Amino acid sequence: MLIGELAEAVGLTSQTIRFYERRGLLPAPHRAANGYRAYDDSSVFRVLFIRSAQSAGLTLAEIGSIVGLRDHGDLPCTHVATLLHDKLDGVRARQAELASLEAELERLLARSRHLDPADCADSDGCHILTEPRRSGRGG
Amino acid sequence: MLIGELAEAVGLTSQTIRFYERRGLLPAPHRAANGYRAYDDSSVFRVLFIRSAQSAGLTLAEIGSIVGLRDHGDLPCTHVATLLHDKLDGVRARQAELASLEAELERLLARSRHLDPADCADSDGCHILTEPRRSGRGG
DNA sequence: ATAAACCCTTCACCGCACTACAACGTCAAG
DNA sequence: CTTGACGTTGTAGTGCGGTGAAGGGTTTAT
């Protein structure tokens, strides 16, 4: 199986396959006499595993740590569970950030609807984004 | 006002102030005879505006487009409202993505709790992340 | 023989917001 | 006169997941 065929089979480009190889996510494949990479069906599953892990929000580095355990002969399950747990924490933290950002944007948009653009003229930026300053607070 | 004093006043570093200047977010300041940048109090408000806009989730490029309108003599309010509206859309879209990622992670973690690591041995990656595909059929 | 489509390697680049470093000039204090 | 903290410029690196081009070799079809 040539690299383009593997790429086609998994819906990626050849460049991405080589990129994963460089990153250590895919083992160096056998080479034909002409130097071409030669893959078998198991490579398809390896790439699909990478994509599954990515769709679970894992970074390539984290996925690399999973394959690394495999290469070392260890079972990665415990490590994977830890990664997923940490990732879930991170997702929830970012959800909280986005929720407060959403509230802030809604507040600013409500402001913008009852502010008169004519009052904006003297400001450095725009009065929608800067509080009518009483005592300083940024951020 | 020296650059370090401005930086101190707004809680940033001198490098960041210069970075904003290069990005066109801050106008080129007057220079003292020795070449040092000389700021006045209005620069403090300009920087604080940038930080306010950033805390509303705007990128530096977007903030630059706001200051750009100011430089051009236009009132940025309408543009700012548009940016905030689009940003809110983006935030909600990302919230939806994160919600489904959260659900997926919860599903996988539930899987991991009733999967036996011993069954993982023959896989390329880890059975927590790959659906059980029995010979031939799957999706 | 030649063109098109594939393969190879290496290197650079995208956006994002900084951050660090090199190599130098300036200024106030001791 | 030296020390140290400040200032100047330009360039490069960070993390993330690729993408693209340069410049070449191989294979297949005509």
Q: How far apart are the first and last CA of chain A?
A: 55
What's the Cα-to-Cα distance from A57 to each of A44, A61, B25, rounded to whole Å? 20, 11, 34
The residue of chain B with its CA nearest to that of A84 is B105
Query: Nearest protein residue to C18's C1' (by CA)?
Result: B16
Touching check for A96 and chain B: CB below 8 Å?
no
B contacts of A102 (beta carbons < 8 Å): 88, 91-92, 95
Note the pLDDT of residue B122. Answer: 57
| pLDDT beneath 70: ranges in chain A | 121-123, 132-139
Considering only the beta carbons, identify the residue of B67, B99, B117 that sits closest to A75.
B117
Distance B60 CA to D21 C1' (A): 30
Q: Which nucleotides of D are covered by protein (CB under 7 A)?
A: 6-9, 16-21, 26-27
Euclidean distance between CA atoms A11 and A9, whole angstroms: 6
The domain locations on chain A are: 3-115
Mean pLDDT of chain B: 89
CATH architecture of A3-115: Orthogonal Bundle (1.10)
| pLDDT on residue B71 | 82
Verify whether the Cβ–Cβ distance B98 to A99 is below 8 Å: no
Indicate whether B102 pLDDT > 60.
Answer: yes
Q: How far is the CA of A23 from the C1' of D15 (A)?
A: 14
The pLDDT tens digits of the residues spanning B76-99 come to 999 999 999 999 999 999 999 999
Nucleotide nearest to B36 in CA–C1' terms: D7
DSSP for B78-111?
A: HHHHHHHHHHHHHHHHHHHHHHHHHHHHHHHHHH
The CA distance from B83 to B66, in Å, is 9
Q: List the single residue in B102, B121, B131 with the smallest CB-CB distance to A75.
A: B121
pLDDT 10s digits, B35-54: 999 999 999 999 999 999 99
* pLDDT beyond 80 at B123: no
Beta-sheet strands, E only, within B10-84: 30-31, 37-38
pLDDT for the residue numbered B129: 85
Structure tokens at A1: 């199986």
Give me the pLDDT at residue B139, please. Answer: 27
Asked whether residue A15's C-beta has any atom of DNA/RNA strand D within 7 A, the reply is: yes
B125 reaches A (C-beta below 8 A)? yes
- Average pLDDT score over residue span B30-34: 96
Contacts of B121 (CB under 8 A, 6+ apart): A75
Inter-chain touch B49–A94, beta carbons under 8 Å: no
B102: chain A residues, CB-CB within 8 Å: 88, 91-92, 95
C-alpha count within 13 angstroms, C-beta hemisphere, residue B125: 27
Q: Are A6 and A47 in contact (CB under 8 A)?
A: yes
Cα-Cα-Cα-Cα torsion A74, A80, A85, A86, nearest 10 degrees, comes to 80
